[in-house]
């Protein structure tokens, strides 16, 4: 089994619902996103998946979040756009595009700062 990872980023504003503290107010982050996939075998070029494809699919998806007010997006209706919920959203959307017989999305990690992140994966 092979494990591949890419890093990407987006900037957006949000506020946390039902939170007691400063993060209940409107604020923004420059989020870093790690996408990890597993490949059971390599293709003829010796690749599990071309990084170019993995980066492009991730970039396209992050374009829906970049420079947006996340609380207004349909997916986050009725829930806080926390790092935890953002990682779950990205995981489910990327899994639809990436999972096949050879490639399986393993985990999405969303860093809201240099020292704090949340990951989502399914067993």
Please list the active-site residues: 23, 67, 112
Residues in CB range of 25: below 8 A, 6 or more apart = 15
Cross-strand partners of 116: 113
| Cα–Cα nearest to 107, from 26, 4, 37 | 37
| Residue 115: count of CB within 10 angstroms of its CB | 6
């Amino acid at each position: 089994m092979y494990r591949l990872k890419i890093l990407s980023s987006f900037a957006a504003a949000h506020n946390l619902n039902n939170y007691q503290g400063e993060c209940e107010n409107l604020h923004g982050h420059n989020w870093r996103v790690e996408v990890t996939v597993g490949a059971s075998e390599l293709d003829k070029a010796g690749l599990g998946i071309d990084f170019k494809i993995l980066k492009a699919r991730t970039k396209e998806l992050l374009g829906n979040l970049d420079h947006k007010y996340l609380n207004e997006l349909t997916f986050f209706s009725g829930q806080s756009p926390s790092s935890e919920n953002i990682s779950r959203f990205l995981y489910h959307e990327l899994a639809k595009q990436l999972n096949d017989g050879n490639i399986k999305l393993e985990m999405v990690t969303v860093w809201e700062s240099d020292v704090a992140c949340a990951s989502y994966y399914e067993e």
